[in-house]
Amino acid sequence: MDDKLNVYHTPVLLKETIDLLFTKADGIYIDGTIGGGGHSEALLAKLSSGGKIFGFDKDPEAIEHCKEKFKNELEKGENSRIELFNECFSKACSITRHRGEWTGFLLDLGVSSRQLDESRRGFSYRAAGPLDLRFSPHGRTAEDLVNAVDEEELAALLRKFGEEPFAKKIARRIVQQRKIAPIRTTIDLARIVESVVPRRSLASSLSRVSQALRIAINDELNVLHNALHSALQCLGNRSRIVVISYHSLEDRIVKNFFRQFSKGEEASSSMPKIKILTKKPLVPSEDEVKNNPRSRSAKLRAGEVVF
């Protein structure tokens, strides 16, 4: 395989993910955030001719990458064991429910290495680029947001989605600066944060501000919450849910979802329960973090659906 196809993104907690997700060689699996296709590639190697992976991603570049990565499989047409959708994972149930009950549902919620490394996407505050931060090319950008939202709402957003201690100061300076000139780039925003945050806290604040804006414009937390609940309509008995999160806000949603259904609080004749398979979240080993530093904040939680 072309080296370029391998460096798109390094899959996090690969062995742990597949060990927990895979249960049947002829099952139906949803990779809701297929990205570079690393997890799906490992899963595909375990499937029989009757197995199927439905891969979703809002990022059209990820889908194009995976079309090339899985070219040989896709060329099998109706016999292909993988099908790709340039859609958000929140639509997975409505799109595939007529194709049979899911055996496994995987979400790797991290920003891919490709997205971080492409400065034109604006996902990294370390590189000059437009203040975009969208997973798809549609909808408002982070630039739209920071130049339109009032100071109070902006501060609240930075606190809620970034847990940023200097949210009020940063929001005030953003509003002051945009009266002089619009905030267009990642560097414009980084300089604003740098002007009000102590140097010892700068790197963390830059990361938290970027996270907050990204979550806001992609509506990430609501999408995650709704997708987990809707997935229960498509998952079969003894099916698996595996979610890899990268910050406390995502992890809290996943943890609460598993706890809620494991206790039977929502259980009824039509709703399943979830057996939690990871009493504590799995985290990357020291070796994995050394080889892939971007994996360091990953937390994996898994559950089994039981009717």
Amino acid at 228: L
pLDDT value at position 178?
A: 96
Q: In what order do the strands lie in the sheet with 273-276?
A: 82-85, 52-56, 28-31, 102-108, 235-245, 299-306, 273-276
What DSSP designation does 220 have? H
Does the pLDDT of residue 117 top 60, yes or no?
no
Q: How far apart are CA 143 and CA 88, in angstroms?
A: 22
> What's the mean pLDDT in 119-136?
74
pLDDT value at position 28?
A: 98
Q: What percent of the chain shows pLDDT beyond 90?
A: 84
pLDDT value at position 138?
A: 87
Residue range 58-114, pLDDT digits in tens: 999 999 999 999 999 999 999 999 999 999 999 999 999 999 999 999 999 977 555
Residue range 231-241, pLDDT digits in tens: 999 999 999 99
pLDDT value at position 118?
A: 56
Tell me the whole-structure pTM to 2 decimals: 0.91
Strand partners, 185: 130
Residue range 200-243, pLDDT digits in tens: 999 999 999 999 999 999 999 999 999 999 999 999 999 999 99
Does the pLDDT of residue 127 top 80, yes or no?
no
- Radius of gyration of the chain from Cα atoms? 20
Does the pLDDT of residue 274 top 70, yes or no?
yes
Averaged pLDDT of the chain: 91
pLDDT value at position 113?
A: 54
Domains along the sequence of the chain with CATH:
3-113+220-306 (3.40.50.150), 119-218 (1.10.150.170)
Does the pLDDT of residue 307 top 90, yes or no?
no
Does the pLDDT of residue 286 top 70, yes or no?
yes
Q: Distance between the two ends of the chain, CA-based, in angstroms? A: 42
With beta carbons less than 8 A apart as the criterion, state whether 33 and 265 touch: no
Does the pLDDT of residue 120 top 90, yes or no?
no
